[in-house]
Amino acid sequence: NFQLQDQDGRPRCKADFRGQWVLLYFGFTHCPDVCPEELGKLSQAVELLEREPGLPPLQPLFITVDPERDDAAAMGRYLRDFHPRLLGLTGTPEEVRAASSAYRVYASAGPRDEDGDYIVDHTVLIYLLGPDGLFLDYYGRSKSAQDIARSVRRHMDTY
């Protein structure tokens, strides 16, 4: 389970998504390339599935691994560039660590440069959660949006 806040400041927990299919990604808004690529791919997979009549809705989620910089306002600004229903979640460092740990996500902030900027090394996976909230599958960087959409559709068909 997790206790976090969305980009509008509303408290959110895992139970809020029960009954929904979820594609979940952990990353950070200052990520120069990998996170935007993965969130773009996640967004495209959701769009592909939305075009198929009869499929249940799929909720895209993004949980930060950098709560120091990623407050609700930063998440809201960042997520405008992706799927309109992509929900961003943040919280205290302890809350974010607990959520990351629950999904076995590795995250470690690197050294700060002269401007105080830093990169966060982290697990790069998109997770699929079923309507019961349980983990069903994961997708690494080598999977395309089409691969993910096909896999999610198969899981939906056999659930």
Binding-site residues, in ranges, read 31, 35, 122
Binding residues for Cu cation: 31, 35, 122
Specify whether the CB–CB gap between 75 and 7 falls below 8 A.
yes
Q: Return phi, psi of residue 109, to 5°.
A: -75, 135
Question: What residues contact 25, with CB distance under 8 A and at least 6 apart?
Answer: 35, 38, 39, 42, 60, 61, 62, 63, 125, 126, 127
- Residue written as token pair 């996976």: 125
**Beta strand 21-27 with 126-129: parallel, antiparallel or unpaired?**
antiparallel
